[in-house]
Amino acid sequence: MSNQDRMEAALPAIRALQKRAADLEARQARQHEPIAVVSMACRLPGGIDTPEGFWELLAAGGDAVGGLPSRWRGLDLYDPDPEAVGKSYSQEGGFLEGVEGFDAAFFGISPREAVSMDPQQRLVLETSWEALERAGVRPGALSESRTGVYLGTMSSDYGDLGRDLEALDGYVSTGKASSVVSGRVSYTLGLQGPAITVDTACSSSLVSVHLAVQALRQGECELALAGGVTVMSAPSLFVEFSRLKGMAADGRCKSFSAAADGAGWAEGVGVLVLKRLSAAERDGDRVLAVIRGSAVNQDGRSQGLTAPNGPSQQRVIQAALDASRLSPADIDAIEAHGTGTSLGDPIEAGALAEVFGPGRSEDRPVWLGSSKSNIGHAQAAAGVVGVIKMVLALQHGLLPKTLHAEEPSPLVDWEGSGLALLTEARAWERDGERPRRAGVSSFGLSGTNAHVVLEEPPVAEASAESVAGPVPVPVVVSGLGEGAVRESAGRWASWLETRPGAGLVDVAVTAARHRTHFEHRASIAAEDMSGLVEALRALAAGEAHDAVVTGTAQRRGRWCSSIPGRVRSGSAWDANCSRPVPCSARRSRLVMRR
């Protein structure tokens, strides 16, 4: 056989090896591909129901901790004596008001079933819907898609319903089941990716984000909802931690402060919409931030089941950096667990110092903070709240101050640690061409720890508005009833008044293509933004306006939106709008209370 014959005979094997090598390289690249955060939604203490509202609180150095919720009214709960049985020596915390309100019909749920649903299930339905709409995704379009749901939660004290046998109506078991927190979102929206509820205590939502990142990289889903929720329907946790003397009497987390005296409990819900960065760029999504890497580990046998473990925290942070293909020098800031305890905070700071301190220049410390000082410890939702905070900080170029920490803890060896506490807000600017990056930590009472590394998004190409001159553009709002249409118009107007850079075509495209259109509708023909806001305000007030047409859509036929000019995916509406805040799934006045 000639050499040429041998070469021709070997070609199929060579091609097969080349294909295998290319496949392996692609697989390895996919395992490290950044994950895009394309949307966020939240409900937090202080009446906060949007990320924008959360940022206003953070930027102002606000404190959202307040008195006990109205749903506990009538309970003889408070006693300043920590030894008092069945009492709480703290009567403040970070609470969500109005959690009883729920528009069951909006989600196709009967009032009877809704009454038996834990408010945590109701809240994640609302917030997931809103997060999708903010991403420019019509929730109804995801039916039968490989969309995953990863949500963290802890125990359901709404399950106390089960103690009354006569109250069992066939819906209580699913209404209080933690598995249904994620499963109900998938069921309601028809999602066919994994639906996983995570309970690792305080780290639940950050572990959920980690699992979603892994699933996207492994191709288990194409889009993922990730986050967590905590609602305290009963004051059990307050009573329990009073006996342990583990709460701050004033209900405030004094993270890394000399005044740290215990955790302050809070409620909250946060949901992220995640995609592979390549998919987000392909689809023209606005990328708020990217997740470079994440890691999860366990303390194992340590000083105690609930005691924090410094070496384990070091390992999970280093593992997240390794997964991100970054070094400690690449990180600018850390959103810490920072519960405000005299035991946990020094251990956490010590672990951070071990990772980030060696070789760190004194003029470029890792800036340390915690949003728990603003809203309290939201437990299963705490990790995702930290992610939302740091994404907002990246967007605004500002690291918010940590409250109640005028005097840093003397139990932390700050000198030479490479750390600096954010006792004041600080501008967060780029250092040359290096992207800004931050880590977010969350450590569970169960011993399960999580860390996520965030990076600012790639710079997007700007594009100009496609409409020249005063051409009327239709903007559509809708709702299940006339009142819902007016409320939606009011939210649009409020949002636009704070966004002078938003483009009219951006808003029109968002409203027409990226919102679910309900039966009751209104169309506003506007030539400029001021005219649009004026007409929206009139619609919200129920007043007549020449630019506004209202009506009820018929089921036959299709609604058509005619928008002058050409708008491509990835154009100005992506860069400027991020698909504005006003969304359809908002809490109704209908009260669902057992």
Per-domain residue ranges of the chain = 35-455, 473-569
Lowest mean pLDDT among 23-32, 253-262, 316-325, 472-481: 23-32
Q: Which pLDDT does position 25 carry in this prediction?
A: 63
Can you list the positions of beta strands (E) in 299-391? 333-335, 366-369
User: For residue 564, is pLDDT > 60?
Assistant: no
Average pLDDT, whole number, for the chain?
87
Distance CA 427, CA 418 (A): 18
CA torsion sign for 369, 451, 380, 308 is negative
418-448: pLDDT as tens digits: 999 999 999 999 988 899 999 999 999 999 9
**pTM of the full predicted structure?**
0.84
User: For residue 117, is pLDDT > 70?
Assistant: yes
CA torsion sign for 474, 479, 480, 481 is negative
Half-sphere exposure of 557 (CA within 13 A, CB side): 4
Asked whether the beta carbons of 372 and 340 are under 8 A apart, the reply is yes
Distance CA 395, CA 526 (A): 29
- Asked about 404 being catalytic, the answer comes back as no
Q: Which stretch, 18-22, 168-172, 450-454, has highest mean pLDDT?
A: 450-454
Asked whether the beta carbons of 213 and 294 are under 8 A apart, the reply is yes
Tokens of 259: 């005044």
> For residue 40, what is the DSSP state?
E
Catalytic residue among 377, 451, 517, 520: 377
Q: Which pLDDT does position 517 carry in this prediction?
A: 78
User: For residue 4, is pLDDT > 90?
Assistant: no
- Asked about 520 being catalytic, the answer comes back as no
- Asked about 202 being catalytic, the answer comes back as yes
CATH architecture observed for domain 473-569? 2-Layer Sandwich (3.30)
Asked whether the beta carbons of 187 and 207 are under 8 A apart, the reply is no
Q: Which pLDDT does position 594 carry in this prediction?
A: 43
Q: Which pLDDT does position 485 carry in this prediction?
A: 84
Half-sphere exposure of 449 (CA within 13 A, CB side): 28
Provide the pLDDT confidence category of residue 543 given band limits of 50, 70 and 90. Answer: confident
Catalytic residue among 42, 202, 253, 583: 202
Give whole-number Cα distances, 472 to 251, 464, 525, in Å: 52, 18, 5
Give whole-number Cα distances, 55 to 52, 358, 390, 395, 452, in Å: 5, 33, 10, 10, 20
Q: Which pLDDT does position 524 carry in this prediction?
A: 85
Asked whether the beta carbons of 397 and 427 are under 8 A apart, the reply is yes
Distance CA 458, CA 41 (A): 22
348-387: pLDDT as tens digits: 999 999 999 998 998 999 999 999 999 999 999 999 999 9
Distance CA 281, CA 286 (A): 8
- Bigger pLDDT: 510 vs 335: 335
301-322: pLDDT as tens digits: 887 788 899 999 999 999 999 9
Read off the amino acid at residue 131. Answer: A
Chain-centre distance of CA 291, in angstroms? 13
Catalytic residue among 210, 221, 337, 514: 337
CATH number of 35-455: 3.40.47.10
For the segment 332-345, the average pLDDT, to the nearest whole number, is 97
